[in-house]
Amino acid sequence: MFSVLVLNGPNLNLLGTRQPEVYGSTTLAMVERACAAHGAALGLDVTCLQSNHEGALIDAIHAAKGVHAGIVLNAGAYTHTSIALMDAIASVELPVIEVHLSNIHAREAFRHTSYIAPVALGQICGFGAQGYNLALDALKKHLSEVPPA
């Protein structure tokens, strides 16, 4: 059984009430419960974490090395600004799947750039909360094909 970290960044603690027309009405607690359930069905042991702080997200990525086999990451707005998060992902050399509830490419131009994408296995966006399950599917397939060292 692979261990996987589902890491959510700033403002995602407000899911459910935050701009529901953009992000939907599913709360973070519901997302995390669904990830645990879907992960278990896939044979993944899912740990969930959320922080509004860039440094805490970086610490969580560093701490994941040797503990988790991969990461599902919605870095929120730090996606578009944080070279430090990009460097953290590159440093730990864990497979990361980038998730966004909204289709960032169909929104404001500043959301079209992702500093996560160049160091991620891939990006899933625009499918709402379902995107986390899709990311777990993709991560499970990857880990089955390329087991952690």
Residues annotated as part of the active site: 23, 100
Q: 11: which residues sit within 8 A by CB, 6+ positions away?
A: 18, 52, 76, 77
68 is in an annotated binding site: no
In degrees to the nearest 10, what's the CA dihedral of 89, 93, 97, 103?
40
Sole window of 27-35, 58-66, 69-77, 116-124 interacting with ligand DQA (rule: CB under 6 A): 69-77
Q: Check residue 118 and report its DSSP letter.
A: G
The residue (of 38 and 69) whose beta carbon lies closer to ligand DQA is 38
Distance CA 147, CA 149 (A): 6
Examine residue 77 and tell whether it contacts ligand DQA (CB under 6 A). yes
Q: Can you read off the two tokens belonging to residue 114?
A: 């992702």
Q: 140: which residues sit within 8 A by CB, 6+ positions away?
A: 2, 42, 43, 44
Q: Judged by CB under 6 A, which of 24, 39, 70, 76 binds ligand DQA?
A: 76
Sole window of 53-61, 62-70, 75-83, 88-96 interacting with ligand DQA (rule: CB under 6 A): 75-83
Give the number of residues in contact with ligand DQA, rule: CB under 6 A: 10
Q: Judged by CB under 6 A, which of 35, 100, 133, 139 binds ligand DQA?
A: 100
Q: Which residues are annotated as a binding site for substrate?
A: 74, 80, 87, 101-102, 111
